[in-house]
Structure 1
Amino acid sequence: MQNILFFFKRLKATFWFVPVLIIILTIFLSIGLVSLDHAITFSQDGLGRFFIVNSADSARSILTTISAAMIGVAGTVFSITLVALTLASSQFGPRLIRNFMYIRLNQVVLGSYISTYLYCLFVLNAIKESDGYTFIPSLSILVAIFVAFINIILLIVFIHQIATSIQADKVISDISEIIFKQIDTLFPEEMGANWEGKKESAVDDIKSKYTNSISIQSQKSGYLQYINNEGLLGDVCSFDGLLELYFKPGDHLVERIEIGTVYTNETVDEETLKSIHNQFVIGKTKSAQQDLVFSIHQMVEIASRALSPGVNDPFTANACIDNLTTTMCRLSQVPFPSKYRVDEEGKLRIVVDMLEFEDYLDASFNQIRQFSAGSIAVILKLMDALITINVFAKKELYKKALVKHAQMVLNVGNESLTEENDRANLRERSKKILPE
């Protein structure tokens, strides 16, 4: 079930799925409305004479005008979208193109114009005028006029959306929102909490009780995008064994590399081993569904590009640091899942490779710090960010990681800043987090 949800989310992220879905629904809508026109005769008295078409030539003229206009605007919309994607790729990085493809409005607008064009063609084909028989689908034509009006409004909204979506602050804000949604999904509760705090030697003792070990190898090269934890747990429980994983979502795998080991006292059949392999989704690119670092690196990439000599935009870099600070403050308060997965009886079944708070801290600030040499505004912002996170971090392990990063920021400032007053300002701020 989890695998199906994963692929469905991937499908929704494509640029073609929603437009194709709208087109299919439009085809059925056109057939249904034409059938309704066959069954119902609309009065042309009163207000009806202003809206109901009573001439086959007028009906064809209206539908032809709408269809020609819609296919023309569809080409314009597609061109504007490509220009926006090109600007986003050059300014913020090619990995951010996927975020723009996620924007549902862009997909709906493209699908709406193409589907309206097809709708008009279907209704136009239904108009019949011959000796003794005339059929004009009045309701269908009225719907086409109404949809054309809606599409005009959509075009205005679409242009506004494109104009705002390529602004640096908006892009950074959108990534931050995605990160927060990921945190809520990936850190909902403590998993395997009853194993929390146990020594690694306890796991070694459990592994030693099994007589057989089976190597689980990657079926192909690529990035580990998704692990179906529930499916793995069910497979391991089926033969009363233990599975130890050596990779996590986001890691790059090489074909036939060992990604885990199964420990068991029973013989595991080929069908079960195949099922275990099927719980891992490996693709050509990284995916953000189970990889929070992927989204963090998107923010870091924007900051790194902003700090390049050719751009030199510390304001954008500082905006990224502000949002990463919020992310790390949130991570400092959520319960990190345990690397141990147990069954309903509390028996250890899976040992996974997990990232800790310091790993996310490294992913957030290491590269920005390395590119910030000589930029006093960014260096001071990094120090302030670590001071803010330190206020929210309650665990001693977290505080040690923050002190290490603060010391590295201080070292960069002392080595790269030429103005003594700037270095003194940095040292004064560092006293709020670094020990005396």
Structure 2
Amino acid sequence: MRDTLRAQLWPLPTLGVTLAVVAGVGLPRVDKRIQHDMPSWLRDYLFSGNPDAARSVLEAIAGSLVTVTALTFSLTVLTLQLASSQFSPRLLRTFTADRYVRTTLALFLATFTYALTVLRTVHTGEDGQSGFVPQASVTVAFLLTLASMLALVLFLSHLAREIRVETLMSSVHSAADRTTQRLLPEDEDRPYGNGAAGDHGGAPPETPANALTLTVGASGFLTSVDEEALLKAAVEADAVLLIDRYPGSSLIAGTPMGAAWPRTGEPFASKTRARLVKAAAEAVITGAERTDLQDIAFGLRQLTDIAAKALSPGVNDPTTAVHALSHSSALLCDLARRDLGPHLLLDDDQQVRVVLRRQNLEDLLDLAVAQPLRYGAAEPAVLARIAMLLRELAWSSASSRQPPVVAALTRLRSTIDAQDFHPAERLRLTELTQLVEQALAGQWTHSPFP
């Protein structure tokens, strides 16, 4: 729920409007109580106009804030459209989750609502009531207006910075880093450089041939897995559960997503089978779009989208693709130093009860490299950056995790051989592929200064 609300524009503005209504009703009542007992030094700083002046000020504030709010919404929508068409539709969450955008909208709407609410308490005396001007309340409206104007200037500056592709990629990189640190424990025994280290967590149990098939409950992208619910269901049924689909996968209702089998070897009772299938379907949560809640590959997916879009004929921006590959390389090198094996959930007796599949290094490397390699096959700069990515990843990976790098290097060489490059470009690319081989062997050659 927190993740859903974080990616929506409406919760914070709604809260702002609610607080503005409460303040607009409450502050004038406080004004009425303290108006005659207010110290003279404080009265000098408050609004001192008559009821007509107070109405004019509040009406001007309300009218101007409607215009400013409409402008802000328009700029936000245009930015979302630009990000979707120019970079990737999967970047929209980055904008809608931006706290600065939501806070600015909340301030504008709160100021407008507050001004209207206070306006109803101003009495000119012509309606049979005694004249009343909520001095403190009008002053607060004036201060909120000043804050809104300052926020507008800062919002425009923020927006101009946020729509830059470098800022977008940095935001994606930071979000992916947070997801990785939250979900994957770092291998403390894994040194930087080409050392030997293996995955932790033990080997998952083998799935028997007669295991109970677990099916998907609702179609959509797998956004998260309720580990507590799965473990509880497995313990109650004295079973072992395997979920072989990982967050980010596209699931179709009714199709298999895993298996369950009794730990003792005795067949499940019919009621137990039904409970297990239902509990697993409810614990595997799907949504209309991918999120970074438990999806370690979502950041790589966004960066690859940016690179692929930059390499399209309509954009033709290989420099952006190269920068996106640099961010992907940093994420991959970090992931290579972490435990990417299946996630095992243990019961109180330290027995494996639930096995959750994760994307391995081969899947992640293919996600980061396959499309840029295909769409950038004719661009030497892109191929050179892919070679550097493989070199950096080879250096950061344990020897047991290097086969995917070797396979990607073979694919890169085939792509280079198939292109009609200038001899100097081909020589440079060949040298880079040789440097990848050296990194795989634990060597890093430093280029001499000219």
Normalising by structure 2, we get a TM-score of 0.87
Amino acid at match of 1:290: Q
**Correspondence for 2:415:** 412
**C-alpha separation between the residues in 2 aligned to 1:66 and 1:348?**
63
**C-alpha separation between the residues in 2 aligned to 1:241 and 1:195?**
23
Q: Counterparts of 1:331-350 in structure 2 under 5 Å? A: 331-350=335-354
- Please tell me whether residue 164 in structure 1 is matched to residue 161 in structure 2: yes
Deviation at 1:197, TM superposition (A): 4.5
Distance 1:337 1:252, change over 3 A: same
Distance 1:273 1:410, change over 3 A: closer
**C-alpha separation between the residues in 2 aligned to 1:385 and 1:337?**
22
Q: Which region of structure 1 is more displaced relative to structure 2, 271-280 or 172-181?
A: 271-280
Deviation at 1:60, TM superposition (A): 0.7
Q: Which region of structure 1 is more displaced relative to structure 2, 154-163 or 279-288?
A: 279-288
Check the 8 A contact 2:387/2:432 in 1, yes or no: yes
- Please tell me whether residue 300 in structure 1 is matched to residue 304 in structure 2: yes
**Correspondence for 1:97:** 92
**C-alpha separation between the residues in 2 aligned to 1:288 and 1:28?**
36
- Please tell me whether residue 87 in structure 1 is matched to residue 92 in structure 2: no
Q: Match of 2:402, SS?
A: helix
- The percentage of counterpart residues that share the same residue type is 25
Deviation at 1:163, TM superposition (A): 0.7
**C-alpha separation between the residues in 2 aligned to 1:44 and 1:58?**
22
**C-alpha separation between the residues in 2 aligned to 1:306 and 1:203?**
44
Deviation at 1:195, TM superposition (A): 8.0
**Correspondence for 2:122:** 127
**Correspondence for 2:227:** 229
Q: Match of 1:291, SS?
A: coil
- Please tell me whether residue 154 in structure 1 is matched to residue 154 in structure 2: no
Match of 1:63 among 58, 75, 78: 58
Match of 2:249 among 241, 248, 251: 251
Distance 1:374 1:354, change over 3 A: same
**C-alpha separation between the residues in 2 aligned to 1:187 and 1:62?**
56
1:360-396: CA deviations, max 9, x gaps?
1111111111111110111111111211222222x11
Q: Which runs of 5+ in 1 are unaligned?
A: 1-6
Deviation at 1:403, TM superposition (A): 2.1
**C-alpha separation between the residues in 1 aligned to 2:402 and 2:421?**
30
Deviation at 1:232, TM superposition (A): 1.0
Deviation at 1:44, TM superposition (A): 7.5
Match of 1:382 among 383, 386, 405: 386
Distance 1:154 1:321, change over 3 A: same
Deviation at 1:194, TM superposition (A): 11
- Please tell me whether residue 315 in structure 1 is matched to residue 310 in structure 2: no
**Correspondence for 1:4:** none
Match of 2:363 among 359, 365, 376: 359
**Correspondence for 1:400:** 403
Check the 8 A contact 1:216/1:260 in 2, yes or no: yes
Check the 8 A contact 2:199/2:341 in 1, yes or no: no
Q: Which region of structure 1 is more displaced relative to structure 2, 405-414 or 422-431?
A: 405-414
Q: Match of 1:135, SS?
A: coil
Q: Counterparts of 1:154-193 in structure 2 under 5 Å? A: 154-188=151-185
Deviation at 1:306, TM superposition (A): 0.9
Q: Which region of structure 1 is more displaced relative to structure 2, 265-274 or 241-250?
A: 265-274
Q: Which region of structure 1 is more displaced relative to structure 2, 168-177 or 348-357?
A: 348-357
Check the 8 A contact 2:218/2:286 in 1, yes or no: yes
Distance 1:285 1:34, change over 3 A: same
1:211-241: CA deviations, max 9, x gaps?
x954332222222211111221122112221
- Please tell me whether residue 280 in structure 1 is matched to residue 284 in structure 2: yes
Amino acid at match of 1:413: I
Deviation at 1:285, TM superposition (A): 2.0
**Correspondence for 2:427:** 424
**Correspondence for 1:31:** 25
Match of 2:237 among 236, 239, 252: 239
How many residues get paired? 420
Check the 8 A contact 1:12/1:18 in 2, yes or no: no
